[in-house]
Structure 1
Amino acid sequence: MKIFVVFVLLGTFLYEDVYSRKIVGLRHKPNNNKIVGGYNATIEQFPYQVLLIVSKGGEMYGCGGSIISNTVILTAAHCIAGASKVYVKLGATSPNVEGDTIASSKLTPHPNYSKRTQDYDIGIITLERPIKLDGVKTKIVRLADKDTQINPGQSVTVSGWGATSENGKGSDSLLAVDVPVVSNDECRRAYRSLTTRMFCAGVPQGGKDACQGDSGGPAVIKPDGIQVGVVSYGIGCARKGYPGVYTNVASVRDWIKQVSGV
């Protein structure tokens, strides 16, 4: 019991230490990311959403992730590449005051992940112990299959605790935003290194986007809540002409299954 209490307190401390300052994750450095222009959400609406507190090289930062089995979290490779430990906060709208904390036992970024281009920006976190899935605040997300098509104009919903403004502080409470998918041709005007393992989403005038700290979090299609993307990178947050870039889950679906069994 004492060990459990200490671990819960550790999780709360880590959250407050990381998210009360401007160390709110990557979307990725130096092109940063949080939910901008979104709306208040609850964990019951997004029970697969988790917050990651990542320890790397003596520093700590926040990212997002999603529950894909009772022992596996899906996130972005750039969130965990080179990291020594990840603490997963789950089952909470406000992670600083509620929820469970589980540490990682293994971190597996995609072997082809490129820090320069952000290609294959997908990673797997194996947990030290199983999640108690209650179907209300903790639930497995349904992943897109490898044949899933994402079409321009289609709306995706992104959730997280990232910054609400560029270079701002992380949010204490879960937020979400709905953004339309942008065609690859249009997106390449902003990002020439776009690959077939990526897609873009955002509004032309800016104002709605993921931001620092949302990296690794899920992008889903409603109403079924199928996860089609993982928050990857972008120039700033919610800037005009610079949509957010997401890893296309369908394009890396075989690898996810190979590593996680899901």
Structure 2
Amino acid sequence: MKVLVVLALALATASAGVFPQTFPVHPRDRTVNPSIEGRITNGKDAVENQFPYQVSLNFGSNSGGWFCGGSIISPEWILTAAHCTSGASSVTIGYGATVRTSPVLSQTVTSANFRQHESYNAIVLRNDISLIKTPAVSFTAGINKIKLPAISSSYSTYAGQTAVASGYGKTSDASNSVASHLQYADLTVIPNNDCANTFGTLIVTPRVICVGTYNGVSTCNGDSGGPLALDGVQIGVVSFGSSAGCEIGSPAGFTRTTYYLDWIAEKTGISY
């Protein structure tokens, strides 16, 4: 099943609103207990220009299409999850959209522009990170980049701090489609040991950062690949969550950005 984090703008079909678990963007036919998937529930409506770095990603392939989220990290680069780009032949990127279907700008690129992590493992969602090279965009109030953490010899675990996730994923477990309006939620980062109690240490490694999903607030299907931000800096990429539902209170998992700063710099030249 696919990995969703409470904000995992997972891959619901752009045209049919089908959720990511149905498509090859998630670990194929995986049997685990608990199984994992990707999704924001019980969040809030974003206002115009609140998250200028957020993008919508409509992926296409010979076997269908799916929906994810992503973030702008430079005029020419989008950061997202590897389970979103995996198996896709193209993607249409929507910029500046508070309403998902009304982006300020759209661009379509092929998989030749994908830079998926070479060691991505769909079974345990290891290295669930990908980059998309795009034609350069001009920044405005509604379209802008998010900063990455500065490269350092050591990094905070962020445990106990409140971060914000954004995306167009399902707004409740009962919903059968992704959100039309950009959503966001404030989520508390939890220690990896606590997260591993739910998903195990094969899934929850130092490459992962997790948040608690209290009161039914979490990422959900359709949020996959989207950003987790702290004080305007991206610390995570929506990756996975419990397949039992987005509102049950299980942690949500993200790819930990600080673990991949050297890889991002190698592929894009971007570093702080």
Name the TM tier (shorter chain): 0.7 to 0.9
Alignment map for 1:86-101 (pairs within 5 Å): 86-101=91-106
Hey, what does 1:9 align to over in structure 2? none
CA contact (8 A) 1:154 1:180 kept: yes
Hey, what does 1:107 align to over in structure 2? 114
Hey, what does 2:221 align to over in structure 1? 212
- 1:180-213 CA-to-partner distances (Å, cap 9, x unmatched) read 011111111111121110011023x550111111
Hey, what does 1:202 align to over in structure 2? 212
**SS state of the match for residue 150, structure 1?**
coil
The answer as to 2:10 corresponding to 1:18 is no
* One-letter amino acid of the structure 1 residue matched with residue 120 of structure 2: Y
Which deviates more from structure 2 when the two are superposed, residues 62-71 or residues 141-150? 141-150
Structure 1 counterpart of 2:77, from 57, 61, 72: 72
Hey, what does 1:252 align to over in structure 2? 260
CA contact (8 A) 1:56 1:83 kept: yes
The answer as to 2:194 corresponding to 1:186 is yes
Structure 2 counterpart of 1:163, from 160, 170, 175: 170
Shift of 1:238: 3.0
- 1:142-166 CA-to-partner distances (Å, cap 9, x unmatched) read 0113443133211110000011123
> What RMSD in Å do the two structures reach over aligned CA positions?
2.0
| Distance in 2 separating the partners of 1:173 and 1:123 | 25
**SS state of the match for residue 224, structure 2?**
coil
CA contact (8 A) 1:70 1:130 kept: yes
How does the TM-score come out when normalised to structure 1?
A: 0.86
Shift of 1:34: 3.2
How does the TM-score come out when normalised to structure 2?
A: 0.83
CA contact (8 A) 1:43 1:174 kept: no
**SS state of the match for residue 142, structure 1?**
coil
* One-letter amino acid of the structure 2 residue matched with residue 86 of structure 1: V
CA contact (8 A) 2:100 2:168 kept: no
| Distance in 1 separating the partners of 2:215 and 2:264 | 32
CA contact (8 A) 1:25 1:162 kept: no
Hey, what does 1:10 align to over in structure 2? none
* One-letter amino acid of the structure 1 residue matched with residue 189 of structure 2: V
The answer as to 2:191 corresponding to 1:174 is no
* One-letter amino acid of the structure 2 residue matched with residue 233 of structure 1: F
Hey, what does 2:60 align to over in structure 1? 55
**SS state of the match for residue 95, structure 1?**
coil
Which runs of 5 or more residues in structure 2 are unaligned? 1-11, 28-34
Q: 1:117 to 1:254 in 2, by over 3 A?
A: same
Hey, what does 1:14 align to over in structure 2? none
| Distance in 2 separating the partners of 1:42 and 1:64 | 17
CA contact (8 A) 1:34 1:165 kept: no
Which runs of 5 or more residues in structure 1 are unaligned? 1-16
| Distance in 2 separating the partners of 1:20 and 1:123 | 23
> Of the two structures, which has the highest relative contact order with CA contacts closer than 8 Å and spacing of 6 or more?
2
Hey, what does 1:145 align to over in structure 2? 150
CA contact (8 A) 2:26 2:122 kept: no
Shift of 1:131: 1.2
